[in-house]
Amino acid sequence: MERKLLKLLFAGCVLSFPFLFRGSKMRENLLIFFSKGVIATLIDAYVVGTKRIEYPVRPFSKIFKTNIIYDMLFFPILSVIWVKISYNDKFSKILMKSLLFSVPMSLGQWFMEKNSRLFKWNKWSAFHTFASVNFTLFIIRGFVGLLKMLDKLKGKQNITEY
pLDDT digits (tens, 9 = 90+) for 82-116: 998 988 888 899 999 999 999 999 999 999 999 99
Q: How many CB atoms sit inside 10 A of residue 46's CB?
A: 11
pLDDT of 157 reads 60
- Give CA angle at 112 (111, 116), nearest 5°: 130
Instruction: List, as one string, the DSSP characters of 108-141.
Output: HHHHHHHHSSS-EESS--HHHHHHHHHHHHHHHH
Contact 78/101 with Cβ under 8 angstroms?
yes
As for how many domains the chain has, the answer is 1
Contact 55, 118 (CB under 8 A): yes
For 120-159, how does the pLDDT look when each residue is reduced to its tens digit (9 = 90+)? 999 999 999 999 999 999 999 888 888 888 888 877 665 4
pTM score, whole prediction: 0.86
- Domain that residue 149 falls in: 2-161
Q: What residue type is 124 in one-letter code?
A: W
